[in-house]
Structure 1
């Protein structure tokens, strides 16, 4: 989907939190700057020249988006820091502005941030386009060419998936033993779990992620979502068993559905559901360009730690993880329990 970086703080921050994309952008854009305290920085005069904008325009954006720009590296130099910076540049910045006692500087990250905000600058528009191309290239390169199963690059995914299979068996056994109906009841009550957690049934989820008919949706889910599904399955299996034993016969599907809805409302799950919805909505928009419309209110910027988790040095494809002797040893111990 088209990304309007000037309108969405989440989209801007998703790029600025991706250090791999920033490294490529800094290398390929070659914007110049001054090396200061181990990074490239830019004075306001340099930024004005870069984007072909006025001093008043920069000041307006700093005023309107000051917190965002400061969080991404914009800072004011005063006192000794300013004197050190002037010495570094041999005093060439004295003519910048009327206040020589303070000086605003932008890190490379803050320059990109400003470029994503500016609507008056053609140079900023071109920069946004190039940055988006770089982000796509970096994402594809580090994710092995596709992002459909980027969730599986999480080092915790395999263990969560393996353990969920055990809870899934307990859940399907409970549905079989304590709920009336045909084989279709498994899909129906599985969808109730999905809707409780992320407000979509299996068909809706597959459509959002553009999954093929044969794709298994749980193979695309993040560890936190899998763990929460496992908790639901284990808990509901227990509740079905208690209700069935108390009744002395199988529950009707209407009775079972009420049990599901009551279970969902337990306060224990409130923070876990919020966390799962936020992670699914935010990560899928960032990594898969997939918008869960029913979860749109939960979208946040993806933190830097998630880029490390799914694109960093510790992240590995499922095939690489399965070929790791240490990983296989863990699964053998679990299987032998």
Structure 2
């Protein structure tokens, strides 16, 4: 979907939190700047020339987006830091005023931040277009072009998937032994769990991620979501067995549904469900360009650690993980329990 970086703070921050994009951008955009304290910084005068805007325009954005720009590296230099900056510029920034007692400078990250905000600058519009291209290039390169299964690059995915499969067997056994009905009840109660956690049934989820009808949803879920589903399955299996034994018979599907709805209201699950919804909605929009409309209120910018988790050196394809003897040994120990 088309991204309007001037409007969406989440989309802006997702770019700025992705250090792999920042590395490529700094290398290829060649914006200039001055070297100070091991990073590239820019003065207001330099940004006026770069974006072809006035001093007043920069000040307006500094006022309207102060917290965002400061969190991304805009700072005011005073005292010893300002003196050091003036000395390091070797007289090349004389138009900033040699007698000034304070000076605002932008980190490279803050320069990009401002460029994603400016609506009245053609150079900024071109920069936004280039940035979005760099994002696509980085994602394709680091994720192998398969963002649909980017969840599997997480080192925690394989263990979560393996454990969830074990709990799922307990859950389906409980449905067999303690709930009336035919084989359709498995899909029905699975959908009820999905709806409890992320407000979508299987068909809706597949549509959002553009999966085929026969695709296995769980192969696309993040480890935190798989762990929460496993908790639901384990807990519900226990409650079904207990209720069935108390009644001395199998439960009707209506009784089982009421039990599940009561189970999902337990205070224990509230923070876990909030976390799962936030991670699913935010990561899928960022990494897969997939919008879960029923979870739109939970969208946040993706933290820097997640980019390392799914795109960094420790992230590996599922094939690479399965070829690792240590990983296989862990799975074998779990299987033999």
Range of TM-score over shorter length: over 0.9
Count of paired positions: 337
Match of 1:96 in 2: 96
Q: Report the Cα distance in structure 2 between the residues aligned to 1:91 and 1:273, rounded to whole angstroms.
A: 56
Is 2:46 the counterpart of 1:46? Answer: yes
Task: Spell out, residue by residue over 1:82-126, the C-alpha distance to the aligned partner (whole angstroms, 9 max, x if none).
Answer: 111111112343432697111111111000000000000011000
Does the aligned pair in 2 maintain the 1:42–1:106 contact within 8 Å? yes
Structure 2 portions without partners, runs of 5+: none
SS in 2 for 1:182: coil
Q: Report the Cα distance in structure 2 between the residues aligned to 1:332 and 1:253, rounded to whole angstroms.
A: 36
Note the C-alpha offset of 1:214.
Answer: 2.7
Match of 2:75 in 1: 75
Is 2:264 the counterpart of 1:264? Answer: yes
Q: Report the Cα distance in structure 2 between the residues aligned to 1:59 and 1:133, rounded to whole angstroms.
A: 29
> Mean Cα displacement is larger for which, 314-323 or 31-40?
31-40
SS in 2 for 1:148: helix
Structure 1 portions without partners, runs of 5+: none
User: Alignment RMSD, CA only?
Assistant: 1.0
Task: Describe the shift of the 1:65–1:97 C-alpha distance in structure 2 as closer, same or farther (beyond 3 A).
Answer: farther
User: TM-score w.r.t. structure 2 length?
Assistant: 0.98
SS in 2 for 1:40: strand
Match of 2:290 in 1: 290
Match of 1:120 in 2: 120
Note the C-alpha offset of 1:182.
Answer: 1.1
Does the aligned pair in 2 maintain the 1:18–1:307 contact within 8 Å? yes
Note the C-alpha offset of 1:231.
Answer: 0.1
User: TM-score w.r.t. structure 1 length?
Assistant: 0.98
Spell out the pairing of 1:103-114 with structure 2 (5 A cutoff). 103-114=103-114
Q: Report the Cα distance in structure 1 between the residues aligned to 2:332 and 2:99, rounded to whole angstroms.
A: 68
SS in 2 for 1:31: coil
Does the aligned pair in 2 maintain the 1:94–1:100 contact within 8 Å? no
Match of 2:229 in 1: 229
Q: Report the Cα distance in structure 1 between the residues aligned to 2:221 and 2:95, rounded to whole angstroms.
A: 56
Match of 1:206 in 2: 206
Match of 2:138 in 1: 138
Match of 2:299 in 1: 299
Q: Report the Cα distance in structure 1 between the residues aligned to 2:55 and 2:105, rounded to whole angstroms.
A: 13
Match of 2:161 in 1: 161
Q: Report the Cα distance in structure 1 between the residues aligned to 2:84 and 2:288, rounded to whole angstroms.
A: 45
